[in-house]
Structure 1
Amino acid sequence: MPSQADDCNALEATTSIEEMSENEFNRDILRTLQNDELFELWLCTQCLRDMEYVEYEDYEYEPGSSRELDWLGHFVKKSTRLEVVGISGVGTFGNCSGHSVDKFLDNLGKCNHIKTMYFTGLPAEIIYKLGPAMKNNSRTRFEVYGCHLGVQEATFLFNTFRDMNSLEELRIDCEADLANLNDGDMAGCIPSLAASTGMQSLKLNYLNLSTNSCAALRGVFPRMATLLKLVLCGNSLDDDCTRLLAQGLSDCCKQIQTLDLSDNRISDNGLDALVQRLPASVDALCLARNDITLARHVLLLRFRVLIIWGNTLCPDGTQVIAASLANPECRIECVLLSQCNIGDEGTATLADGLRYNQRLTRISLGDNRITEHGWNAFSSILCDASSIQATYNSNHTLQDLGYYRIPEDVERMLSLNKGKNKSRVAANKILQAHRHLDMRPLFGRELGLLPYVVAWLEQFAKSRPDLKLSSIFEFVRAMPMKVTDGVVGKAKGEKCKLNS
């Protein structure tokens, strides 16, 4: 006797959407799929929908029966616009027969337009059934999140990756305590990734990776020349692992841009190995929640983004960072240092390193026991009011300290620094810091009349030495010409119209 799934083609013409499902949400999904207008589909349970666990409520489908799952698979198989499919929750297929689940996943595999697949919180019996849905060369992105993985489940998944040579992004994230795996188990699974020669982003988190797994990764890196991002968070990586990874990436992955090894056991030696050996292409390094203290000098100039929050730095650790920030060759634009045991003294050290820095826009310093006195160390760095020239030479780049409870004066200077025209930023700071020179009632912020006032006052200054210079002239004489260059440029070629 033919099953409901086998009869779907014949029955579609005579079956209304209302007859296919009693669930209003499911009807909307089936109708949209039937019209080939659905781009994204998420299968979940009612409890997850009620908890708003899944963010994509407009695309959610809760299979209440085998029949509803059969109809869903029927339309999915024919879709030409469906690109993203996710399955979330242990009980998602609880009302469906094993045969209907197999049939649905088989139909999922026949849809050649699906590029991205997400699997969240699935039990082992469903993981073992995913093969037909995965083995399709249209799949470029695959994510497994929050699933309990033992040796058999991991082996099954990684063996399936051998048939997915189109894979560009892979994320397997078990969170803490969900992976019943050891370093040797994963070292045996990783070689299967060699088939993914187009891999651009590889994330293997909380899988108990260590030395053997890193050696296995180094073995597959020659097949991943296009790798741009490697994330290995929450594992058991130590300094020896960083040497293996850095060597493998340096030899084979010349385009890699981001390396994230957060929540491991990496110390200063491992950091130094990464700095010395990583490919020059790496501009973002994340080592949050490791064992880094910066007890010895390490040059950190080369990275654009440096994330080391959650490490307990030694008392002199901030001097290492400040030395890099003060170096004219420093490329760092963002450094995250929250929860690093910095305190007021360390904050003052970092601020001093930023005095002439023209690259860093964000430094996150939250949760470091910094008082108002510590935050005020940035005040003279952002706006040195000792002279107009000093104000002009202040830091006009830093925009964010990563904390909300900072002194108002510091916050105001950070806000000014968000302006793109740095000459105008400097002029605004000069007007605020040297209020006896504030000519805004006459000039306005754009300083539109400034070139003409300069010329007029210079004539009288030469012929009348006894002329008491006005505050306007003092302002003009003291202000660096770079501040006025833009205004002068605009004035060239324009006739001066005098009001009668």
Structure 2
Amino acid sequence: MCNFVGENNNLRSLDLMHVKPENESAQHFALMLEQRQSKSLQRLALQDNDLGDEEIEAIATALSRQASLEELVLMENDFGRLGCVALGTTLERWQAPNLKQLVLSYNNIDDAGLQALVAGLVNCINLEELQLSYNHSITAVGLRSLAAFFQSEHCCLEEFEMAGVYFGDEGAIALADGLVGNTSIESMTMYIDSIESTHFRTAPLITEVGWSAFSKLLCNTSSINSTYMSNHTLAQICQHPLPPPYICKYLQLNAFQQHQNIDTAKIAKIKILLNHPDLDMEPFFQKQLKLLPHVMSWFQRARSCHSNSSPSGRVLTRTQSQKHVLSRELSAVYKFIRGMPMVAADGYCKYVLKTALKRKRKLQLMIQKAEEEEEWAQKRLKPEPEYD
């Protein structure tokens, strides 16, 4: 097998499951992997092989020349902190890595191990799926380190799995804070386990304290601008027990945006209408009435958010209505007029004057045309002189 791996230049996928090699065999396999000249390997899955830190260190070193790898599955082994250090170092040193899926579930990864992985994860600019499920030693401390990865400029992670990692409210807050500014993650898996599991029943669950952090992430209601800048991409949290209804409501809105492939600005607009019944117009007053047409246009476009044929419409019709949006539009106009009465009056006078001048010019053109027609008619009717 080792010779086959080292000499096959066309090998694209290698899955070794339940082999459980001795240490010497694992080291020899890593050596053959390191000596490969070809970069054809795209998938490597070493699942349930009891690979410890020493074996993973050797394999990680061997992978230093395999930056073309797209899928790396190391689940159900026995490595922890030292293995993560070696793996993180390899990932960080890769040039233009193609890695899209990294599966590290069911190992002994702790906070320090997770922290050692982060620099490598940041370098994996094509990583779309990360699985860390059932690494029970991970706590809020390790989860906080993921913020550097989630908030990195080129992060394109879409799926993140943390099932069986019971981190409680502190971990939920760390995750929610780390996701601020992230625009790629669409799905998260947390706390999935059997209700009869002893570990599940004794683990710290997420309470209202932790869910409030996710609520703030999905829709920060402290200001209109904060609501607009909230997360509009996270659409699924696989969780047992289920997230609270107010979390599911925002997840549903984000999911609608993805399924319909619409601009996230529309979802932001819906969240603003849901949570800000009284919109403050005073910040716009510095531009006097120049911004009023834009405000009116914003409300007119907002009416489309109430369509009963869309999930967003069904959410809004419980608290909003077309009539209510129109009422807010009129209220905004009133606030402009009340805030700048003289400007509004001057603006109205200018409008009347402009209209009057326009009508006057139109009348003058009509009179001029009538005089020209009269002159032409008189010339036609004037009798020609008679000559003897």
Same fold (TM over 0.5): yes
CA apart distance, 1:359: 4.6
- Give matches, 1:125-144, under 5 Å: none
Structure 1: stretches of 5+ with no match in the other structure: 1-156, 383-394, 400-414, 439-470, 481-500
Residue 432 of structure 1 corresponds to which residue in structure 2? 317
CA apart distance, 1:311: 0.9
| Contact residue 205 and residue 231 of structure 1 kept, 8 A | yes
- Pick closer, same or farther for the CA change 1:311–1:435 going to 2, 3 Å: closer
1:277 to 113, 116, 120: 120
Aligned AA for 1:348? S
- Pick closer, same or farther for the CA change 1:435–1:214 going to 2, 3 Å: closer
Sequence identity, in percent?
Answer: 18
- Give matches, 1:56-135, under 5 Å: none
Residue 105 of structure 2 corresponds to which residue in structure 1? 262
- Pick closer, same or farther for the CA change 1:477–1:273 going to 2, 3 Å: farther
Residue 165 of structure 1 corresponds to which residue in structure 2? 9
Residue 398 of structure 1 corresponds to which residue in structure 2? 254
| Contact residue 151 and residue 181 of structure 2 kept, 8 A | no
| Contact residue 337 and residue 363 of structure 1 kept, 8 A | no
| CA RMSD in angstroms, aligned pairs only | 3.1
Greater helix share, structure number: 2
| Contact residue 347 and residue 377 of structure 1 kept, 8 A | no
2:133 to 280, 288, 293: 288
- Pick closer, same or farther for the CA change 1:159–1:417 going to 2, 3 Å: closer
User: How many angstroms apart in 1 are the aligned matches of 2:25 and 2:332?
Assistant: 67
| Contact residue 233 and residue 262 of structure 1 kept, 8 A | yes
| Contact residue 288 and residue 311 of structure 1 kept, 8 A | yes
Residue 360 of structure 1 corresponds to which residue in structure 2? 233
Q: Secondary structure at the match of 2:92?
A: helix
User: How many angstroms apart in 2 are the aligned matches of 1:239 and 1:330?
Assistant: 30
Aligned AA for 1:301? Q
1:218 to 60, 65, 79: 60
- Pick closer, same or farther for the CA change 1:254–1:239 going to 2, 3 Å: farther
User: How many angstroms apart in 1 are the aligned matches of 2:141 and 2:166?
Assistant: 11
Residue 347 of structure 1 corresponds to which residue in structure 2? 211
Aligned AA for 2:17? D
- Pick closer, same or farther for the CA change 1:436–1:261 going to 2, 3 Å: closer
* Residues 1:378 and 2:234 are matched in the alignment: no
Residue 441 of structure 1 corresponds to which residue in structure 2? none
| Contact residue 206 and residue 234 of structure 1 kept, 8 A | yes
Aligned length: 255
Aligned AA for 1:254? A
- Pick closer, same or farther for the CA change 1:216–1:478 going to 2, 3 Å: farther
Q: Secondary structure at the match of 1:474?
A: helix
Q: Secondary structure at the match of 2:27?
A: helix
CA apart distance, 1:165: 1.2
Q: Secondary structure at the match of 2:211?
A: helix
2:78 to 227, 236, 246: 236
* Residues 1:189 and 2:29 are matched in the alignment: yes
Structure 2: stretches of 5+ with no match in the other structure: 194-203, 220-226, 271-304, 307-311, 334-388
Deviations 1:154-211 (A, max 9, x none): xxx222223311111111122xxxx343344312222222324211111111112122
| Contact residue 397 and residue 418 of structure 1 kept, 8 A | no
CA apart distance, 1:285: 2.0
CA apart distance, 1:242: 0.7
CA apart distance, 1:424: 6.2
Q: Secondary structure at the match of 2:317?
A: helix
User: How many angstroms apart in 2 are the aligned matches of 1:201 and 1:349?
Assistant: 37
> Who wins on radius of gyration, i.e. which is larger?
2
User: How many angstroms apart in 2 are the aligned matches of 1:184 and 1:172?
Assistant: 16
Residue 151 of structure 2 corresponds to which residue in structure 1? 301
Residue 250 of structure 1 corresponds to which residue in structure 2? 92
Q: Secondary structure at the match of 1:167?
A: coil
CA apart distance, 1:362: 3.1
| Contact residue 360 and residue 398 of structure 1 kept, 8 A | yes
Aligned AA for 2:117? L
Deviations 1:56-85 (A, max 9, x none): xxxxxxxxxxxxxxxxxxxxxxxxxxxxxx
Q: Secondary structure at the match of 1:339?
A: coil
CA apart distance, 1:397: 5.0
Deviations 1:17-42 (A, max 9, x none): xxxxxxxxxxxxxxxxxxxxxxxxxx
Residue 420 of structure 1 corresponds to which residue in structure 2? 261
Deviations 1:259-307 (A, max 9, x none): 2111100011111111123324234321111121223632143451322
User: How many angstroms apart in 2 are the aligned matches of 1:173 and 1:208?
Assistant: 10
| Contact residue 217 and residue 231 of structure 2 kept, 8 A | no
Deviations 1:439-459 (A, max 9, x none): xxxxxxxxxxxxxxxxxxxxx
| Contact residue 91 and residue 124 of structure 2 kept, 8 A | no
Residue 327 of structure 2 corresponds to which residue in structure 1? 474
Q: TM-score, length-normalised on structure 2?
A: 0.57
